């Protein structure tokens, strides 16, 4: 598998929805309404201010976006979200998107990357972020109602993108 | 001063903007663009799904809203934001709105209240929340670019609204 990561194009809408749909329908990783419509899901992912990318081999196998985490005095911190196509977990797609997203955020001038709501039972994601140098800077008790596990904690995770002197 | 707290009405728009404007222009407590327009500020405060209230004596002296902090599996946790009219700090307006907002959130069926981004230098607010039983469950380094102090931390604060058995 030779992955490349490129900006999202309007032609990718069907492939994007095909990736988002099972993740949102499962309701175990994203705090998104499980019955969200295609239109609302695409609007959520392609929101104003989002830089959206897809990872592809022959097919589109993943997508991510980077955006400002907050406006105003919070505008120097990026937020991002990632989805890997069903059946392609554990093949390095998320890792490739992570590396690309950190470079993208740095190039956009962000000083840090913050994930606001990492569901604690999503251990594959948590482990990926920890290995990439993210720290858990917050743990919100019972923040997520998991379809199988009930109320589980959510992590706030953070990684600086510049050194202190910058 | 005899404060009452009542739902926001369309007639309150001018008073609402008069309260929000100096807070957003100051840029030291809210992660909102300092030059936000009146229209965008009202849209932000009166957003879809927000239950908005005002506190008044003879004049409107404060406003707050309660909304779901997240969709989907995060929909059982409330978020809220508060603004006290300029010159009326330290007179119990924030405290009255806090008490009212916790009751409102409980009545709306939320299981907890979470503040995602409490600027650490906003010590009056932090102290008010701590006294009301909130805990700091996260501390994001350098999350807020304060106009006077530069990069300062932001807190994630949390308070359960139901006991564990509920």
Query: Which residues does chain A have within 8 Å of residue B111's beta carbon, measured at their own beta carbons?
Result: 142, 151
State both tokens at A69: 């985490």
| pTM given for the model | 0.94
Q: Which residues of B touch A (CB under 8 A)?
A: 24, 27-28, 30-34, 36, 69-77, 111-112, 114, 116-117, 119, 137-147, 151, 154, 156, 158, 160
The secondary structure of A65-114 as a DSSP string is EEEESSSGGGTTEEEEEEEEPTT-TTSSHHHHHHHHHHHHHHHTT-SEEE
Q: Are strands A51-56 and B4-7 parallel, antiparallel or unpaired?
A: unpaired
State both tokens at A47: 């929101």
Please choose, from the candidates A137, A140, A138, the residue with its C-alpha nearest in 3D space to the C-alpha of residue A159.
Answer: A137
Tell how far CA A162 is from the center of its chain. 20
d(CA A145, CA B73): 5
Smallest Cα distance from B100 to chain A, Å: 22
Smallest Cα distance from A97 to chain B, Å: 23
B82 and B62 in contact (C-beta within 8 Å)? yes
The secondary structure of A37-72 as a DSSP string is -HHHHHHHHT-TT-EEEEEESSSEEEEEEEEESSSG
pLDDT of B137-152, one tens digit each?
Answer: 999 999 999 999 999 9
- pLDDT class of A166 with cuts at 50, 70, 90: low
d(CA A137, CA B157): 12
CB within 8 Å: A139 and B137: yes
CB within 8 Å: A71 and B111: no
pLDDT of B60-98, one tens digit each?
Answer: 999 999 999 999 999 999 999 999 999 998 899 999 999
């Amino acid at each position: 598998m030779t992955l490349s990561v490129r900006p999202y194009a309007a032609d990718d809408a069907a492939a994007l929805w095909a990736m988002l749909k099972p993740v949102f329908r499962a309701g175990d990783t994203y705090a998104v309404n499980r019955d969200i419509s295609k239109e609302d899901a695409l609007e959520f992912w392609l929101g104003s201010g989002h830089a959206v990318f897809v990872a592809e081999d022959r097919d589109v196998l993943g997508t991510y976006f980077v955006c400002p985490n907050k406006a105003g005095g919070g505008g120097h911190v990026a937020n991002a979200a990632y989805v890997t196509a069903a059946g392609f977990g554990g093949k390095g797609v998320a890792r490739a998107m992570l590396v690309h997203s950190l470079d993208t955020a740095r190039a956009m001038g962000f000083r840090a990357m913050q994930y606001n709501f990492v569901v604690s039972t999503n251990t594959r994601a948590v482990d990926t972020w920890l290995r990439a140098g993210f720290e858990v800077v917050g743990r919100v008790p019972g923040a997520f109602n998991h379809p199988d596990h009930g109320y589980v904690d959510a992590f706030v995770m953070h990684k600086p993108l510049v050194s202190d002197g910058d």
